[in-house]
Amino acid sequence: MIDLIQLAVPVLLKGLWVTAALTFISVLIGFNLGLGLALMRLSSSWLLSGFAKYYSTVFRGTPLLVQIFLFYYGLGQLSLIKDNAALWWVISDGSRCAVLALALNTAAYTSEIMRGGLMSVPAGLIEAAQACGMSRVLRFRRIEFPLAIRQALPAYGNELILVVKGTSLASTITVLEITGYAKRLMSQTFAIFEIFAIAGILYLVINLVLIAVIRSIERFLMRMRRDPAMGRAPRARTNP
């Protein structure tokens, strides 16, 4: 057993960096796209609102594995993709295709999470900001977004954990992340239970670290909320 651990851990750690990279890039793209979709959903334009609604419905209503297969195996069959060098570059590689599927999938869930957070902002604060002459962008940056992210952070933390676990599906399209390397080791050693138990522990460690980071951010935001002096701008120096 010790020999198996010494063999498996270094190999699986190679996949750990791929898993981390898939998660980071997917979340970076997905959060920004999801925030944009949330703003579109709350827009007064029926066209923008309808697009965001149906986008969320499609990506939340279909399995991530099916989406990955459609992007990797299906889009490559379209002549529009084949004849476009940029689009072909995206879907011709398993890692890039996995990032695309994960990002678009998490964007749908993020849009609903952020929409709930934005809707929880008290209308009185928005009206007060309008009365002070704040522009729409300034009001969003200083009032709506900070309050919305506080409300949405617990739910969004769960979504981040789901993205980490979702990266394991990238192994189905030849991406060598933790699960991909685990499958390779399994075929070499035939130690199915032991190899995947070690892989499961690695996923657990990643998610425990992620949970700790999210809780630390939550505590920091709560301290700022309880202590207004932390968010107070410094007073201008006056002449004696």
Residue 7 has pLDDT above 90, yes or no: no
Per-residue pLDDT tens digits for 165-180? 999 999 999 898 999 9
Contact 168/101 with Cβ under 8 angstroms? no
Model-level pTM greater than 0.75?
yes
Domain boundaries, the chain: 2-226
pLDDT band at 75 (very low <50, low <70, confident <90, very high): confident
- Given 3.40.50.300, 2.40.37.10, 1.10.1740.10, 1.10.3720.10, which CATH number is that of 2-226? 1.10.3720.10
Contacts 24+ apart (CB under 8 A), 115-124: 115/38, 115/41, 115/42, 116/151, 116/152, 116/155, 117/147, 117/148, 117/149, 117/150, 117/151, 117/152, 118/38, 118/39, 118/42, 118/144, 118/148, 119/42, 120/147, 120/148, 120/151, 121/147, 121/148
Per-residue pLDDT tens digits for 181-235? 999 988 888 888 989 999 999 999 999 999 999 999 888 877 766 655 444 433 4
* Mean of the per-residue pLDDT values of the chain: 87
